[in-house]
Structure 1
């Protein structure tokens, strides 16, 4: 839906405001965004008020202990693993932000174009 690479000194919540603005402009029908616990606070209100997006923070409840697999969080981790299968993204080779963003987009396009070509195995 959107890719944004920033310098290390840019905070996640600050960058998220810019990225979510871009996504809202490009995808008018987008209504819901999932985020991890680092995006709580004023960003949730900003999304609803300024962008008409519901930002749903996915985190475990206070009473849970130990390792817990959160269904929506797993989707994000799976996508990150798919990106890391592209060796160039496993290291910081890019010198420009636009080049790094293009490599992320290229990796996801490569993944999506290979999927229809793979036969699905049917289990009885």
Structure 2
């Protein structure tokens, strides 16, 4: 990280127990090294054991990361970054509108049968990731399911979690896969307007659709992501996943 980035992050990190008078041994590695190591792993898509030797030993980095993840620190860092980007774009810190979409991806041979499925429409055996973004394409929520899960069924989990975290949320744009009973359900139970953006009947090939293109761009940008290592298949509200 640059000095400017570290200045924004360092005060958000938890105080070590030995500094707070709770006992324990002093930590052998500074938090800035740990953050740099995790960012390197995410950016390059490597395994924990493949951590370069100029970073701290991978077991120590992994221990720090899991501790921060389990206490909600990683999610908090992401939320503060999103709010800063929105504010810089002249938007409010919390969104009032969002866009939802899904993408089925093939699963490797090591993915357990219980967490994978077959998407008959896309002819893909694997998992499906469901993204909810704001109108800038910034992630609000992510859900990973077997590819056989329909968009409507996944939305019944994804949208309530988003409404709980973002109380100003009032409108969701979606594609035709979210039509039917889900429109009335979101209105009655969540107070959300689910607005379906459809392709024109005479369109052929690729077509950029209003609102929907934002989440589709985010799906393309995260096609090879391993955004938060070790969270594969989890529903992390406001968090990420790993392929």
Q: With structure 1 as the length reference, what TM-score do the two structures score?
A: 0.67
The DSSP-based 3-state class of the residue aligned with 1:105 is coil
Corresponding residue number in structure 1 for 2:192: 53
Deviation per residue, 1:45-91 (Å, 9 max, x gap): 111111000111111234x33233212221121101111253x48xx
Unaligned runs of 5+ in 2: 1-139
Q: With structure 2 as the length reference, what TM-score do the two structures score?
A: 0.36
Structure that is richer in helix per residue? 1
The DSSP-based 3-state class of the residue aligned with 1:97 is coil
Q: Is the 8 A contact 1:5 1:101 kept in 2?
A: no
- Please identify, of 45-54 and 2-11, the stretch whose mean Cα deviation from structure 2 is larger: 2-11
1:105 to 2:240 alignment: yes
More relative contact order in 1 or in 2 (CA 8 Å, sep 6+)? 1
1:76 to 2:212 alignment: no
Report the number of matched residues: 100
Corresponding residue number in structure 1 for 2:203: 65
Deviation per residue, 1:84-105 (Å, 9 max, x gap): 253x48xxxx79512x869x72
Give, in angstroms, the shift of residue 32 of structure 1.
0.8
Q: Is the 8 A contact 2:171 2:195 kept in 1?
A: yes
Structure that is richer in strand per residue? 2
Give the CA RMSD over aligned residues: 2.8
The DSSP-based 3-state class of the residue aligned with 2:143 is coil
Q: Report the CA distance shift for 1:106/1:39 in structure 2 as closer, same or farther (over 3 A).
A: closer
1:13 to 2:152 alignment: yes
Alpha-carbon distance in 2 for matches of 1:96, 1:78: 21
Instruction: Tell me which stretches of 4 or more aligned residues in structure 1 moved more than 6 Å.
Output: none
